[in-house]
Amino acid sequence: MELSNPEVVAETVTADFNYVDAGAIAAPLHFSLDHAWSGIPTVQRSVPVTDASSLAEPPRFDREGFQLVQTGVSDIDWLDEELIGTVWRDAALAAVKQLTGADDVVGWGIGLRYSERNLGAKRTDVTNPARKVHGDFSPTHFGEKLDHWDAEQRVAEVANGRRLAHWIGINVWQPVSPAPYDNPLAVCDARSVRDEDVLIGRGSVPSNRSIEVDLLLYYDNPDYRWHYFSKAEPGEALVFCGIEAKPRGGWRTVPHSAFDNPACPEASVPRMSVEMRALALFYEE
């Protein structure tokens, strides 16, 4: 059966976001990577979210830190992990390479995400949408040196002994259900995020490994600029910066979070999406 959703037009919506509560944190911050990300004290704030699909000048990766690109993959069986891990992955990596001009691009952590209205959200703790403002690349693992098991393995497979001069941690997120989205992904303009706004949190996962994520603190007068794409279609992917070293020190990052879209009709198909983490690699000459 072909899925379809009614049209929706909204230039800006107001939505609730869960930031880290700066007044209730303890360092270091440890949490469990369950559905609720238990252990992270949060404060909820209602903020405006601009519909980037309505902007006369679309956001750019080299400016805001995020951009909508074409992967051209829209009609595969999205429940077939092999197809996602080959056909979609290769197309998404090619799009990232073209966008960044990197010498090589590698990817890992490919998986599906679902709106809570979709029964698929209950498959595992990592198939539900992330409801806390965060980033997936911490300076500990992707800063001055690479120290991440998945990334290191994949870089070694393509580098052939070449030394890296620079790299960019990147997220790729593609909706595979039709617009509009009940539970879209919002991204924060990298230019509005300061280094001091970011807190590193360490999460425990069932495999006894730990991961680190960037969590965004909330202040009384934040100037965070949030965007989402109401009309992104299957075949289009949102590419955004997870981490990149700034020339004068510090890190460029695009925090992100799922949110409930008040402009989405109740009859819309629950959101389903696929995502991947990637590294754009630039070798020494």
pLDDT in tens, 23-66: 777 666 888 877 788 888 888 999 999 999 999 999 999 999 99
Percent of the chain residues past pLDDT 70, beyond the cut: 92
Q: Tell me the two tokens of residue 18.
A: 């869960």
SS3 240: strand
DSSP letter at 217? B
Identify the band that residue 107 occupies on the pLDDT scale cut at 50, 70 and 90: very high
Between 2-6, 63-67, 70-74, 91-95, the lowest mean confidence (pLDDT) is in: 2-6
In the DSSP assignment, the letter for residue 156 is: H
The residue count of the chain comes to 285
Query: What SS3 state is found at 67?
Result: strand
Q: CA-CA distance, 258 to 279, in Å (whole number)?
A: 23
Strand duo 272-283 + 104-114: pairing: antiparallel
130 vs 153, residue with greater confidence: 153
Mean pLDDT of 170-182: 95
Of residues 276 and 121, more confidently modeled: 276
Task: Give me the pLDDT at residue 27, please.
Answer: 66
Neighbouring residues of 237: CB distance < 8 A, sequence distance ≥ 6: 68, 69, 70, 71, 92, 95, 172, 173, 174
To the question of pTM greater than 0.85 for the whole model, the response is yes
DSSP 73-111: --SS-TT-HHHIIIIIHHHHHHHHHHHHT-SEEEEEEEE
Which position has the higher pLDDT, 250 or 204?
Answer: 250
Structural domains in the chain, sorted by start: 46-195+220-283 (2.60.120)
Q: What is the rounded average pLDDT of the residues 104-110?
A: 96
